[in-house]
Amino acid sequence: MTFELPDEAQALKESAAAFAAREIAPVVEEAERNEKFPRDLYSKAGQAGFIGMRYPDELGGQGAGITAEVLWRETCSYQCAGIASALSVPGNIGSYPIYEFGSAEQQQRYLPKVTAGEWMGAFALTEPEAGSDVKGIRSTAERKNGLWVLSGRKMFITCAPSADFFIFTCYTDRDLGYEGIANFILDRSLLPDDAITPLKTLGHRSSEVGEVAVDRIEVPDDALIGEPTGGFRRAARTLNGGRLVVAGGAIGTGQRAVDVSVAYAKERRAFDREIGGFQAVAFRLADIAAAIDSARVTVYWAASRWDAGSESPKDVAVAKLIASEAAVRAASEGLRTFGGYAYIGGEFPIERLFRDSRYYVIVEGTSDVQHLVLARQLGLKPQ
């Protein structure tokens, strides 16, 4: 099952896959073991033109659509989901609000540095008590003496330990409800050294996830993205695109789980035959291969709808849900194929793929959130 990509997109996918095999594959084990993102990879990816491809030429991008970002995340995730996250987030949710909603001055200051692979941005939205419930954030921005004073605690922020700036989402006026939310650009240089705390994670270890503690940090007016209200919709738009890109990552991780499991089933012998010759194993692998192929078609279709300007929340939710769940299923069923060897850390990549796959059903809207979106699109009102 295939989705016919345009020639330019297919060429990009092949180029990205070659980059990932050449640059990412050799450093995966060390990066995962040390839980450290190889920052030089970001510079190489920027120089190769893979960072912020949606941005126009004058900002260092390629003027490409979100399909390009999906393909980039997919091919990098095939090699390593954690490194792929760190290579993808800064040019997407980590800086996209600046492109779509920021001023020309903000765009010129930040985006060329991002696309060149010099600066990394991070999307500081989630908090200890507010993830899927964005309106539940507690971070604030107070207006004092001509400046904005930011305070708040952000949690589970991808790329936080490496980020050069953050898109910081907070309330400027809580009395307005979610309309009183705003987005600010918060430069890392304004934060004390102890403001960022790295977090140990189950999977995606090489992406570097962290907590960001902001305590009465003053920023000028030109740090505000757009108006001091309406930030909820800007964050939602950013996350919607992020969901498609994450779905691309799920496809890459899921496909790798299928491929390593099939290869092992052809090599491992039991009862005088390859284990892939047993119907129980062969059918299990056929099922996950079909699931990933189906997810890929769905994600590519949704991305093409986005690029055509005709996407709907339903399209994005379907793609994110199907791809995320398919990745988890592929890694879980693949794990069974390896038996006891899969339970030994580092023995085979399926152990890492199993851990990494769980990430996709959580970030950028959990599977439960996607179910909620889809149910509402059907005219239902789940509580």
> pLDDT (tens digit, 9 = 90+) per residue, 304-339?
999 999 988 899 999 999 999 999 999 999 999 999
Q: Return the pLDDT at 176.
A: 95
Question: Looking at the domain that runs over 7-119, which CATH code has it been given?
Answer: 1.10.540.10
CA distance linking residue 295 with residue 71, whole number of Å: 13
Strands 165-171 and 121-124: parallel
- So which residues are the catalytic ones? 364
Q: Which amino acid is at 26?
A: P
Candidates 87, 123, 68, 99; CA nearest to 300 is 68
List all residues 6 or more positions away from 186 whose beta carbon is below 8 Å from its beta carbon: 124, 150, 165, 166, 167, 168, 214, 217, 219, 223
Q: Return the pLDDT at 345.
A: 84
Q: Return the pLDDT at 2.
A: 64
Mean pLDDT score across all residues of the chain = 96
Candidates 244, 97, 89; CA nearest to 181 is 97
* Per-residue pLDDT reduced to its tens digit, 205-216: 999 999 999 999
* Angle, alpha carbons 369-370-374 (nearest 5°): 120
Q: Is residue 344's pLDDT more than 90?
A: no
Candidates 174, 161, 306, 179; CA nearest to 247 is 306
CA distance linking residue 231 with residue 181, whole number of Å: 5
Q: Return the pLDDT at 133.
A: 82
CA distance linking residue 235 with residue 180, whole number of Å: 13
Q: Is residue 1's pLDDT more than 70?
A: no
List all residues 6 or more positions away from 23 whose beta carbon is below 8 Å from its beta carbon: 41, 44, 45
> What superfamily in CATH does domain 122-229 come from?
Butyryl-CoA Dehydrogenase, subunit A, domain 2 (2.40.110.10)
Strand segments (E) across the chain = 121-124, 140-144, 147-158, 165-171, 181-187, 196-199, 209-219, 224-225, 269-270, 273-274
Assign domain 233-377 to its CATH architecture: Up-down Bundle (1.20)
* Per-residue pLDDT reduced to its tens digit, 82-113: 999 999 999 999 999 999 999 999 999 999 99
Domain ranges of the chain: 7-119, 122-229, 233-377
- Residue 308 has phi, psi (to 5 degrees) of -85, -5
pLDDT class of 4 with cuts at 50, 70, 90: confident
Candidates 134, 59, 120; CA nearest to 92 is 120
* Per-residue pLDDT reduced to its tens digit, 125-165: 999 998 888 889 999 999 999 999 999 999 999 999 999 99
**Residue with tokens 């898109």, as numbered in its chain:** 167
Candidates 339, 314, 355; CA nearest to 261 is 339
User: C-alpha distances in angstroms, 315 versus 13, 255, 299?
Assistant: 22, 22, 9
How large is the average pLDDT for residues 280-285?
Answer: 97
Q: Is residue 253's pLDDT more than 80?
A: yes
Candidates 22, 20, 125, 126; CA nearest to 83 is 20
3-class SS string, 234-246: HHHHHHHHHHHHH
CA distance linking residue 113 with residue 111, whole number of Å: 5
| DSSP SS3 for 192 | coil
* Per-residue pLDDT reduced to its tens digit, 169-214: 999 999 999 999 999 999 999 999 999 999 999 999 999 999 999 9
